[in-house]
Amino acid sequence: MNTRDTVLAAAQRLLTTDPTASIAQIAAAAGVGRATVHRHFATREDLLHEIGVRSLERWAQSLAEADLAGAVASGDPARLRTCLDDLLGRFVVDAEELGIALTDPTVLNAPDLRERAEALFAEEVALYAAAQAAGVLRGDVPARWLGHSVYGLLVAVRDALVAGDIARRDAPALVLSMFLEGGAAR
């Protein structure tokens, strides 16, 4: 791993647990000096922007690897459910690794990142709409609401993992069951 990637990985881990961490703290976590961080990222905002870029790349990769487009085109309930299971599991891993990108204003408000996020969200919403049409997901709510609900669950799982409230191994199943079944008694 090169120095830039080391800094990014350390920043992602640290900022997920401490969103106010300074460049000095990020440098220490990466095992480098502040000057080294600044050679790669002129400002904290530049560093956060790169984390946002990587987060969006992972989102796109997750959509592709779960074969979202194929599942949507098929309309097959079993294939759509498999895609949902796979995708939500991937999202949980990403929320833990890139969790700062879910809520940081620098990431959320950058026009280029926002445009890309909206395009990816539209792809994801197409999955929810197809799953609704196939009877996999409830059809009495807007598909976009389902997407927003997943986002909320990812923020919740990130925070629960950071706080130690849930075990990492349980996180994907908890998110999937809450998304599909809600909080009703079983």
Report the CATH number at residue 5: 1.10.10
What pLDDT score was predicted for residue 98? Answer: 84
Note whether 101 and 175 are same-domain residues.
yes
In this predicted structure, the answer to whether residue 186 has a pLDDT above a threshold of 80 is: no
Do 107 and 51 form a contact (C-beta atoms < 8 A)? yes
* pLDDT digits 0-9 by tens, 148-163: 999 999 999 999 999 9
What pLDDT score was predicted for residue 1? Answer: 79
What pLDDT score was predicted for residue 108? Answer: 87
Query: pLDDT grade, residue 165 (50/70/90)?
Result: very high
pTM of the shown model: 0.92
Query: Rounded mean pLDDT of 30-45?
Result: 95
Alpha carbon 58 to chain centroid distance?
A: 8
What pLDDT score was predicted for residue 6? Answer: 95
Average pLDDT score, the chain: 94
Is residue 186 domain-resident?
no
Domain of residue 161: give its range: 51-181
Note whether 151 and 120 are same-domain residues.
yes
Note whether 83 and 6 are same-domain residues.
no
**Domain tally, the chain:** 2
Note whether 13 and 74 are same-domain residues.
no
Question: Which of 116, 182, 110, 111 shows the shortest CA–CA distance to 145?
Answer: 182
Note whether 58 and 104 are same-domain residues.
yes
Going from the C-alpha of 56 to that of each of 12, 23, 64, 112, the distances in angstroms are: 14, 23, 12, 11
What pLDDT score was predicted for residue 97? Answer: 84
Query: pLDDT grade, residue 107 (50/70/90)?
Result: confident
Say what percent of the chain tops pLDDT 90. Answer: 87
DSSP codes of every residue in 100-148: HHHH-HHHHH-HHHHHHHHHHHHHHHHHHHHHHHTTSS-SSS-HHHHHH
**Residue 92 token pair:** 């949980």
Note whether 21 and 108 are same-domain residues.
no
Note whether 1 and 77 are same-domain residues.
no
